[in-house]
Amino acid sequence: MTSPLHLIAHIDAQPGQAEAVEAALRELVAASRSEPGCLQYDLHRDRADALRFVMLETWRDDAALAAHQATTHYRHFGDAHGSRLKGVTLTLLEHLA
């Protein structure tokens, strides 16, 4: 049996774009949570940096994450809001204990 895949996404907004990025991320959360392989998709904001959003994600497996990254809503977020972002860092985690 495959273990769930955990991912942390750090999404940094450009100055002056945090509200627009947050609104777009909220839409992405709603759509992503309905995907069959999504076990967790939670949006947070860094308390020390108002321009940084953190997404905590858990997917059933690698295939579920790949399917998510191929969805229209995921691709639309990048295409429509990429210019509002300073950067995105994805960290895939390996569960140890």
Q: Which CATH number fits domain 5-93: 3.40.50.720, 3.30.70.100, 2.40.50.140, 3.40.50.1820?
A: 3.30.70.100
Say if strands 5-13 and 85-93 run parallel, antiparallel, or are unpaired: antiparallel
Q: Which helix (H) or strand (E) holds 96?
A: none
Residues in the chain with pLDDT < 70? 1
Q: What pLDDT, in 10s, does the model give residues 59-79? A: 999 999 999 999 999 999 999
40 three-class SS: strand
Q: How much is the pLDDT for 62? A: 94
Delimit the domains of the chain by residue range: 5-93
Q: How much is the pLDDT for 83? A: 96
Provide the whole-model pTM. 0.92
